[in-house]
Amino acid sequence: MTKQLFPWGSEKRYNDSSSHFKAIFEGKVQKISIDAGFTCPNRDGSRGIGGCTYCNNRSFNPDYCRTEGTILRQIDKGIGFFASKYPTMRYLAYFQAYSNTYAPVKVLREAYEEALSHPEVIGLVVATRPDCLGEEVLDLLSEMKERCYLSVELGVESFVEETLLRINRGHTAAVSKMALQKLHERDIDNCVHLILGLPGETDQDFMEQARTLAELPVKSLKLHQLQIQKGTRMAVDYRKDPSAFHLFTVEEYADLVVRFLEYLPQGMVIQRFVSSSPAGMVIAPDWGLKNYQFVALVERMQKERDSWQGKRYHPAL
């Protein structure tokens, strides 16, 4: 029986990142998370204080990723997790914690150069905010792109203006769109982070955001279900009024992901469907599910519905 291949050359019904990265690097690559000690403009008072209401960076920083270790030491510890299992693995230095373009260019350059000085690091992944991409920073990123693989991960989180205000994001949707355009003009790879389920948003909002993404020069996408994390302002709000939040069941969220993908262009790489934080840090929802199990559920739903990424995508005229 002939296997059905989709336009991205895979049997999978979405453009998965594993196949994408294998094609780029001709082998396995792994991101090594780094905490370089940066902060955010809505934490230090330049745009706000307190940070985003949902954010607790400790929920996604691995144990080896601590600022008391130098960047090279963090990389060595990270590689130690993977090297024995995958001896031919190559690595990308993932500047993950907070906003990793929010510092003087001299400081950013020193951090990036230290990571690239590691003999097993072949590229950089830089996580930041859309409002932290000034021209000097973009010049530096353009320079780095000519030397190694580089991708910029943008925490967009939502394109709904009311939501951005509610979560104390500190920038507008227009700023996110402009940042993506500036990266595109410089041919810098990007990955957008979007949270589905933020308070006040509806199914109509989710589908509209999928259509918005489809009209922008987005290379890759990471989707996150809303999780209420300990130690956040959102946790306080949730305890006060849980009815103000709709936290998806596994089946509800899988259904949403399947429908969301149908509006995305086929060239957009999907890096993640769900976020996974340490169980001890999550207040709700408690799915008790591994990432691969959720991926299998999405793939089964897609097959049952004869659904695939781009099924409802129509390019803007």
CA pseudo-torsion sign 84, 86, 90, 93: negative
Average pLDDT score over residue span 200-225: 97
- The region of weakest confidence among 84-88, 166-170, 202-206, 309-313 is 84-88
- The region of weakest confidence among 16-30, 46-60, 206-220 is 46-60
Q: How far is 301 from 202, CA to CA, in rounded Å?
A: 22
Residue 67 in this model has a pLDDT that exceeds 60: no
* Overall fold of domain 17-305: TIM Barrel (3.20.20)
Work out the pLDDT band at 1, boundaries 50, 70, 90.
Answer: low
Percentage of the chain exceeding pLDDT 70: 95
Render pLDDT for 287-305 as a digit per residue (tens, 0 to 9). 989 999 999 999 999 999 9
Residue 57 in this model has a pLDDT that exceeds 70: no
pLDDT of the residue at 42: 86
pLDDT of the residue at 300: 98
Q: Where are the domains of the chain?
A: 17-305
pLDDT of the residue at 177: 98
Average pLDDT score over residue span 204-232: 97
Average pLDDT score over residue span 78-106: 92
